[in-house]
């Protein structure tokens, strides 16, 4: 299991936490040469972060790449990833938040599944560990019933799982790595965004026509919303309900997805069935 830092810089304990996470699955950690570097808000230069990723993409001894953390910076690498190596021998790629950029690029350029799951520095709960194992080891359904979710629009739908972090999905619009949502079950999460910013990103997607032909929607958690006066008169629930009403497709809110302790690992690009009435998401094996 290769460990890379394609986005933000690591904190003091992050690398050891990542190594411990890998070993807890009885996997052998192989650490990128540049993961300890720091260049402002980036984990080293673009060239060095790219070198780590592409080294492991081309190494036939590496079966999976686990991103140590998110932050910002993965988008800066997309043009120069070694897609030929990744298509020749697909690797499991695990991470979330900023790693959505890498997931999108792999889905588009190599037609392989990428795993929206915990970063390697995450202290894994039993729930999160079980879902990750189901997704990347057992190849079984890593999702299931979302008992705490709420139904925004009823019905059931089958489609390809797509999405990830809302800010990255919106930022990729108009680029060669724009995520196609036609016929997809859209899964989205985000963190530390005011409601008006979440509204703006959804409006961007709507104006771009990206939400016109969805099969279904499964919103995760939009956590750590800043406590400011702009959020007083219009709630996150209002915004999500508006998106669901406009889309008119089966829609759940608050599935176990996002910057939360208990989270599903979701194989982006895989087929799944969403039942908004039963509050379930079942990934096809």
The residues carrying an active-site annotation are 97, 189, 259
- Say if residues 104 and 77 touch (Cβ distance below 8 Å): no
Beta bridge partners of 269: none
Beta bridge partners of 163: 187
- First-residue to last-residue Cα distance in the chain: 23
CA–CA distance, 66 with 94 (Å, rounded to integer): 5
212 three-state secondary structure: coil
- CB within 8 Å of 126: residues ≥ 6 apart: none
Q: Pull the structure tokens for residue 28.
A: 């052998």
183 three-state secondary structure: coil
Using the Cα atoms of residue 199, residue 203, residue 206 and residue 210 in order, give the sign of their dihedral: negative
Q: ∠ at Cα 276 (171, 159), nearest 5°?
A: 55
Sort strands 280-283 and 271-275 into parallel, antiparallel or unpaired: antiparallel
DSSP state of 68: S
Cα atoms in the Cβ-side hemisphere of radius 13 Å centred on 125: 10
Beta bridge partners of 266: 116
Cα atoms in the Cβ-side hemisphere of radius 13 Å centred on 79: 4
């Amino acid at each position: 299991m290769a460990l890379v830092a394609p986005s933000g810089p690591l904190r003091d304990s992050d690398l050891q936490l990542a190594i411990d996470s890998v070993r807890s699955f009885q996997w052998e950690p192989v650490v990128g040469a540049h993961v300890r570097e720091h260049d402002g808000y980036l984990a080293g230069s673009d060239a060095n972060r790219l070198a780590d990723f592409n080294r492991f993409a081309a190494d036939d001894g590496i079966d999976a790449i686990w991103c140590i953390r998110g932050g910002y910076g993965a988008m800066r690498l997309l043009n120069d990833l070694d897609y030929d190596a990744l298509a020749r021998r697909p690797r499991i790629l695990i991470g979330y938040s900023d790693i959505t950029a890498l997931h999108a690029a792999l889905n588009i350029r190599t037609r392989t599944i990428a795993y929206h799951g915990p970063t390697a520095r995450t202290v894994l709960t039993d729930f999160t560990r079980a879902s990750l194992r189901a997704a990347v080891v057992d190849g079984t359904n890593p999702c299931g019933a979302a008992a705490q979710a709420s139904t925004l629009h009823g019905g059931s739908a089958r489609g390809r799982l797509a999405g990830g972090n809302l800010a990255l999905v919106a930022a990729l619009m108009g680029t060669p790595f724009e995520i196609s949502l036609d016929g997809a079950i859209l899964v989205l999460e985000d963190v530390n965004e005011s409601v008006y910013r979440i509204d703006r990103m959804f409006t961007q997607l709507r104006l771009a026509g990206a939400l016109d032909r969805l099969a279904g929607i499964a919103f995760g958690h939009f956590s750590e919303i800043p406590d400011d006066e702009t959020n007083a008169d219009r709630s996150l629930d209002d915004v999500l309900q508006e998106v669901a009403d406009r889309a008119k497709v089966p829609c759940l809110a608050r599935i176990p997805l996002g910057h939360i302790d208990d989270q599903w690992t979701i194989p982006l690009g895989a087929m799944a069935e969403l039942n908004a009435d039963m509050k379930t998401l079942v990934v096809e094996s």
